Structure 1
């Protein structure tokens, strides 16, 4: 993995932990490579039955590291981000997430590829792409509407407002809101799944996702093309400059 993406196997569950806490787990391109390696490890290791994606009890993921991404010139199939998203959308084993604190940008859109999501009270979900001069990513232009409905997806993606764990639960983005240690809750749920027949789990997941699998892969590719175009545009540069000025 990398210094900021760690893995540990426990009870058939591969815990994939983001550990860049001083930056609220903002993702760099190197961290995307670490996440891809973790998912590929899980796919090839028969001891891994379920994967749990987590931060800690204070932070999940504050989105992409904007300083790192300003240097991005391409989002082709061989780029770290596209390698991760392609691996993610095709991942066959059950994937869970435990969310605490901010889940911003990719911190929210990655959840659309998770089979079960638990979130701690006080978690905050936000998709501020437009405000940054960017567009939806990770297939969210398609998958968010399928998950929470077109009207609410329009609201979340166009306005970029933040939403609570309770709102995310009521809209169907997540499965459960918990008090206390959300990572422990997520691990307990993942271990329950790990005790079930693996082939049946994978087959059921594949059947659930089959009707929109190809659409999701196409959406990821279409979004990536527009994301790079917008990233290099004047609106995005001005928005990012304003963001760093405020910070």
Structure 2
């Protein structure tokens, strides 16, 4: 079983929470549960629904990607192993098409997998077994930290800013960078933190050792490519050559933020 039966009631007897945090949307948050074990998947969905959330369940990777393409979701709970598919190896595909927080559910205790997962797109890991109460608490915490993936239907579109520089906007509270079209870049939480760290001192290089300690919470080693990989991913999400102009490499010194594409 995924859930800790010693500390959690059965789904039918879970006390409904008195309130929830769902951003500004009037609709309950949509949670996609990707789990190939039917019993576990149904139990996870039942607990989320008992706490007032919409739970959509699928059992394989392809169905998960189709569900995201069909309708935006606010958060994804993704089992690490879906049959023979290790979700960590294909996670960048999901991150590229949704800004929703992605929470990996895993029975694997290896630190290396958690580090890789966070670098390629995951926002959090939940270790099996997990109680229903902790599951709901973690989901709510992620929903509070992000702007709603599905804007309220009654909310009018914002007027287009006057200049290209104004079109790029950082919503720090929602932890998002909004592009010229108003759409958020699909940055992971770690990528956002790295970009914000560089933006604190625009034009000034920040050493890899400083970034490793601050962003990854670990000392930097010469063979460690984690910061380099994060910068590479951020550049790709800004788009090809434009991305290279956002974060520049300063030889023997580190990386520097030099401005959003087209900013004057």
Q: TM-score, normalised by structure 2?
A: 0.32
Higher helix share goes to which structure?
A: 1
Q: Which has the higher contact order (CA 8 A, sep 6+)?
A: 1
| Greater C-alpha radius of gyration | 2
